[in-house]
Every structure is written in C-alpha cells, then in structure tokens.
Amino acid sequence: MSYIVLSHYQSKVLLDARCQGLPSVSVSPDLNRTTVKARLDEEGVRFPAGQFVTWSDLERIGKSETKCFVVEDGSVSEVQTFSETTNWARALMPTPSAPTMLVSGVPMHRIKGTDPYRDTLKKIKTLAPVTGRVLDTATGLGYTAIEAARTADEVITIEIDPASLEIAQLNPWSVELFDNPKISQIVGDAYDEVDAFDDGSFSRIIHDPPMFSLAGDLYAGEFYAQLYRILRHKGRLFHYIGDLSSKSGQGVMRGVIRRLGDAGFSRVVRRPEAFGVLAYK
C-alpha cells in the first residue's frame, strides 16, 4: 500500500515514544493488522515504506476519537465522505480491533462489550458450516462477506451506496473484499437485485441490514419471500436485528419471525448472542 491509516491509538503510541526520547517504536500502519518499526525525528515520524507524518498532524489525529486518517504523499486526510445516494455521512471509526463505519453518527457494527470483528464472527458462526454459494445482502465494510469467503465456494455481496465502498476501499481490514476472487460485488438495492437470482441458488444467506427505521423494505414480507425462493432446500438465513433483549429489538424480532414464517421458512430460532435470528428452509 502506498498509504497508511492511523487513528488516535497509533498517535498515542508515537507521541508517548517521543516523550520518552525513543529513536524508533513499533506501531501499526494499518489499524492493528500489522506492526512496523517507525523512526522518530525532530519533525515527525517516518514509516519504513516512506510515509512521513509531522508531530502537529499526529497531535491532530490524537484529538479525534471517532475518525481514522489516511497518510499519503505527505498529506493527512480523514477517512470520511458524504453520500449523494443516501444523504448519509460516512466515516471510518477506530476501535482497539477492526474499525467500524459511522453512518450519520451511528456505528455499523456492535462496539459495546465487543468489537466489529467478534461481532462478525458471531453472525457467521450461526450459519456454520458456511459452504457453497453465499449471498450477503448488505456489504458495508465487507466483514461478513470476507469471513464467509473463508469457507464458502463463492460469495455475492450487495451494497446500495457507493460511498460505503469508497470508505471500505481505504480500510485495511476490508482489503479482501476487493482482492478475494471468491467475492463478487453488486452495487444496487438488494430489494430489487434478489429478483435476478435463480430459485434455490444459495446455500446460505447473511442478511445484515441497517436498522428497521432506516431500511423498512429489507424487513418486508415480499423481500423475505424472495430470500426464501433463492435459498436452496435445507439452506439457512441469518437475519441481524439488534439487541433482542431490548424493548425495540423484541418488537422488531416478533414482526421478523412472523413474516419469515409467512414467507415459508419452516423454523425461525432466536440467536441472541449474534443479535439476530436464524431461519431454516
């Protein structure tokens, strides 16, 4: 990569090292995926691949708890964008593990008491073994698609908002979304795109939509009927809902379970550890 991505976590490591008068320090250039040895001097920090960040930029990065910053060709910019498609502001937000995306200020993954990657693994585990052809209805940062592709033959993932993919393109944790040949991306509305798939053509479906109030179509009976149609006999669907023990989560869950049953699913079971339900065809 010709660029590196830093957050307040790495800025703290570097500023602390400066206070201690160290000539070099181990730090991550890619939001905790790998570590390199960076050299400290009077003006700032030099990374082994050539990137340079000034102390004043590192102080600026250190002041932002909700943003990540790309360092490229001597310039430092926030990983954020405004979507003309959805009118949502999107920004990459650091955590001690993989980052999440803030969508109009709301984190796209669970971060309280867990982290975005553990959250992803919980969702995928409900569908184990994840084999055959998999549909991921909502790409986001691509974490569910990437994890499913570890064992599946093929993963098709759909994202309505090109701005989401722009952010993912700068996220070191989303690299495999773009370079794993098992993953195919569709930019479009999942509600419409599912019409084009053949009956029984997926063995697993991961449905990880935005919250009900933001994407009602993706919780509609007609959409569930399409998911049922394209799932193969004995296939399984994981549907993320949110905290099933919360009042709002319970309300949404009851409607989801009823409509999945109406769509034809033979059994729908609660999976509270993954904040969702599992439906069997």
92 touching ligand SAM, by CB under 6 A: no
The closest of 74, 108, 76, 101 to 6, measured between CA atoms, is 76
User: Can you tell me the distance from the alpha carbon of 71 to that of 251, in angstroms, rounded to the nearest whole number?
Assistant: 44
User: Can you tell me the distance from the alpha carbon of 73 to that of 54, in angstroms, rounded to the nearest whole number?
Assistant: 12
Of the chain, the end-to-end C-alpha distance in Å amounts to 43
Instruction: Kindly state the smallest distance separating residue 117's Cβ from ligand SAM, in Å.
Output: 9
Query: Contact with ligand SAM (CB under 6 A): which of 190, 205, 227, 274?
Result: 190
What residues between 117 and 146 interact with ligand SAM by CB under 6 A? Answer: 120, 138, 140-144
Pairing type for strands 133-136 and 154-159 reads parallel
24 and 37 Cβ atoms separated by less than 8 Å: yes
The region of 10-18, 60-68, 152-160, 261-269 touching ligand SAM under the rule CB under 6 A is 152-160
215 touching ligand SAM, by CB under 6 A: yes
Question: Contacts with ligand SAM: how many residues (CB under 6 A)?
Answer: 21
Residue 109 CA from chain centroid, whole number: 7
Site string for ligand SAM, 49-88 (x = CB under 6 A): ----------------------------------------
208 touching ligand SAM, by CB under 6 A: yes
Please list the alpha-helical segments (H only) found in the chain. 8-19, 55-62, 116-125, 143-148, 162-170, 175-179, 190-193, 221-230, 247-263
* SS3 state of residue 48: coil
189 touching ligand SAM, by CB under 6 A: yes
Query: Contact with ligand SAM (CB under 6 A): which of 108, 149, 274, 277?
Result: 108
191 touching ligand SAM, by CB under 6 A: yes
Residues of the shown chain interacting with ligand SAM in the complex, contacts defined by CB under 6 A: 108, 120, 138, 140-144, 158-161, 164, 189-191, 208-210, 215, 218
